[in-house]
Structure 1
Amino acid sequence: MSTRTRNARERAYEQLRQRILTLELAPSQRLDENRIAEELGVSRTPVREAFHQLSAEGLVTIVSRGGYVVADMNLHRFRELIEAQHILVRAVTHLLVARATDDDFDELEAAVRAVDEAEQSRDPHAVADTNSKLHILETRLTRNDYLLSMAERVYTHLQRLAFLSFGGAGGIGGDGQDPSLLTHYENVHEDHWDYLKALRSRDVATAERVAVRHVELFQSRIRQFLEMNAVEGLNFSDIPEFGHGRL
């Protein structure tokens, strides 16, 4: 494969992925291969290859009679994601306490600071993106490739919900003035730093408690967002409960 062809495919993939994660391409929207190729200034081949790569990640669905649609967002998918996240954070916490080095903790601290900076910018995409990268990094530092594959899928799929709940796509808080969003950011900040402190102290019980609290915090934000916003194309008639925390 030539460098030019590879670059065209990578450019198509990155742009399509961002448009899906920021809901510029809406859930269940049919994707027109010709139109997207024209918009991106590439041929149909790299677009088709990008569709297949995104399909492998679960962000695009290949329909039975040909063609592609953006993966939907619904209650069943959300429930599965939260279930997976609860299991994932517990496993990651135990392995980080056992395996992470001081250099690893320094790398995590830099990623936590990146989330803090994104929150200060009030940019929903930046917050969702840096937060996703932080939690994927936590998993990468466990040195377990199977958990990493799971984390990349879970946190990528959660980005669309995070983007919406942080005020993206015209949602409440998009102007950065929603008091509930500012409170949420304060709690996120507290959770991230409490978790890192517990990891550095090798305090697995506290670290696990904070990790679970953090999942429940996000779950609570999603519930609050959906109660205040009618989002076309999303089907959340109920939100599952998991344990007790900031709900």
Structure 2
Amino acid sequence: MSLKRGTAKWVAFEDLKRAILTLERKPGSALEETELCDLYGLSRTPLREVLQQLAGEGYVTLQLNRGARVSDMTHLTLRDFFLAAPLIYSAILRLAAQNATQAQIEELKEAQEDFRAALEAGDVTARALTNDRFHRITGHMAGNSYLLASLDRLLIDHTRIAMTFFRPKSGAKEDPLSLACQQHDEMIAAIETGDETRAAELALEHWALSRDQIELFVMPEGLEAPLGAPPKLKSA
């Protein structure tokens, strides 16, 4: 099911996606049909079509007789997130370097300029949303429906995590946000030249940057291993 751009259903769909990604709608919170019908000027049937579309893309969960809820974020989902992210990101960038069209590369460059502008403005919400857009474009470049579905679901939680946890450290030698922007530029260059090996390497470097920042906020103090990874063994 696709929603026609500019319609009331499309507006509701896009606004709910934005609200979920920016944590205006909290993970696990209920989506009350009466409230949403009033908010978007929709009757229940078209609203339910919107919710079904959101559920199909991973933003919402639908439960019989319990209505719709924003997709939750738990220790289990975070563990799966940490395990899957590097695999999916590197595969996406490798295929993007193989398959990207010139039109997609230009779209990616535009997304990067928007991301850079958000960084310069210090707008956390715009930064999270433009970063989300940048990586979704690479997913379409890859041209693999299975990986794209996985990337789309991954980015929902990555963007929500970024809104909550990803903060630049004052006094750091190199601002991780500036480094992330530089890595975006290098990704574009690798994709444009078809350097799939470098593109995949950059995906892992970019993930490592995000992972290190996220772990500062989600890991208990003193715990060394990233979520989902086996503990480090001490040498005898």
> How far 1:112 sits from its partner (Å)?
1.9
Q: 2:179 is matched with which residue?
A: 187
**Structure 2 gap segments, 5+ residues each:** 221-225, 231-236
**Superimposed CA distance per residue, residues 8-63 of structure 1 (whole angstroms, 9 cap, x where no aligned partner):** 22222222222221111211112221122223333333322222221212222222
What amino acid maps onto 1:239 in structure 2? L
Q: Distance in 1 between matches of 2:229 and 2:192?
A: 30
User: Alignment length, in residue pairs?
Assistant: 221
Contact 1:161–1:222 under 8 Å retained in 2: yes
What amino acid maps onto 2:202 in structure 1? V
| RMSD (CA atoms) | 3.0
Contact 2:95–2:196 under 8 Å retained in 1: no
Moved over 6 A (4+): none
| Counterpart secondary structure, 1:61 | strand
Say which is worse superposed, 58-67 or 219-228, in terms of deviation: 219-228
Q: Distance in 2 between matches of 1:197 and 1:26?
A: 36
Say which is worse superposed, 82-91 or 200-209, in terms of deviation: 200-209
Q: 2:38 is matched with which residue?
A: 38
Q: 1:52 is matched with which residue?
A: 52
> How far 1:98 sits from its partner (Å)?
2.8
Q: Distance in 1 between matches of 2:66 and 2:105?
A: 47
What amino acid maps onto 2:137 in structure 1? L
**Superimposed CA distance per residue, residues 56-101 of structure 1 (whole angstroms, 9 cap, x where no aligned partner):** 1222222243322221111221222233321222222322333335
The answer to whether residue 231 in structure 2 is matched with residue 239 in structure 1 is no
Among the aligned pairs, what percent are the same residue? 28
> How far 1:189 sits from its partner (Å)?
1.3
Q: Distance in 1 between matches of 2:107 and 2:58?
A: 29
Q: 1:212 is matched with which residue?
A: 204
Change (3 A) 1:99 1:37: closer
What amino acid maps onto 1:209 in structure 2? E
Q: 2:93 is matched with which residue?
A: 93
Q: 2:233 is matched with which residue?
A: none
Change (3 A) 1:199 1:16: closer
> How far 1:166 sits from its partner (Å)?
4.5
The answer to whether residue 121 in structure 2 is matched with residue 121 in structure 1 is yes
Change (3 A) 1:193 1:52: same
Q: Normalised by the size of structure 2, how large is the TM-score?
A: 0.79
- Once the two structures are superposed, the pairs formed by residues 72-151 of structure 1 within 5 Å of their partners are 72-100=72-100, 104-151=104-151
